[in-house]
């Protein structure tokens, strides 16, 4: 059986974005349809629609944390604050490992909304040098935070 990080990297290598890949790797744990997870995660990729904001892998992880700790359809302040605490711990560990959880900083300022930024992303092979290792480490960190 593949690890969560192995599943996430495999999905990313198939062409899915970082958010989709991390979220997908935890679907079976929460009985989420894989197709649904891929649809939900799509807009979060590349820092939310190529905008370089919160890394998509991190966003995918935060969705998973909500599935794990949120109360769902019954408002529960304790569950909400537990979800926040787990999210903060997750983001702290990502920052400790990666230096940041912001996509544009991970990509050294590369602006993915421009042709020049897209070209720079490709020329520097950032998908393999930054994104793929990030997907892997974020999935590992998420798995540890959930334990």
pLDDT (0 to 100) of residue 55: 97
Threshold 0.75, pTM exceeds: yes
3-state SS assignment for residue 58? helix
CB atoms within 10 A of CB 119: 11
Residue 95, phi then psi, degrees to nearest 5: -65, -40
In this predicted model, what pLDDT tens digit does every residue of 67-93 receive, in sequence order? 999 998 888 899 999 999 999 999 999
SS3 content of the chain, % helix, strand, coil (to 5): 70, 0, 30
Q: Per-residue confidence at 43, pLDDT binned at 50, 70, 90? A: very high
85-130 residue pLDDT tens: 999 999 999 999 999 999 999 999 999 999 999 999 999 999 999 9
What is the pLDDT at residue 100? 97
Q: Where are the beta strands (DSSP E) in 14-136?
A: none
Note the Cα 110 to chain centre separation in Å: 18
**Predicted pLDDT at 72:** 83
Reported as a single tens digit per residue, the pLDDT across 6-40 is 999 999 999 999 999 999 999 999 999 999 999 99
At 67, give phi and psi (nearest 5°). Answer: -65, -40
Q: Across the strands, what pairs with 54?
A: 102
């Amino acid at each position: 059986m593949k690890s969560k990080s192995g599943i996430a990297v495999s999905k990313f290598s198939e062409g899915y974005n970082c958010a989709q890949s991390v979220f997908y790797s935890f679907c079976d744990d929460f009985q989420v349809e894989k197709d649904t997870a891929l649809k939900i995660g799509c807009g979060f990729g590349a820092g939310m629609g190529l905008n370089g904001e919160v890394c998509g892998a991190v966003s995918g992880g935060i969705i998973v944390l909500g599935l794990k700790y949120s109360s769902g359809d019954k408002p529960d302040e304790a569950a909400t604050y537990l979800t926040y605490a787990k999210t903060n711990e997750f983001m702290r560990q990502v920052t400790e490992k990666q230096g940041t959880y912001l996509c544009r900083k991970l990509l050294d300022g590369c602006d993915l909304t421009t042709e020049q930024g897209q070209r720079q992303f490709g020329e520097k092979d950032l998908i393999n040098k930054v994104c793929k290792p990030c997907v892997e480490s974020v999935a590992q960190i998420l798995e540890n935070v959930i334990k």
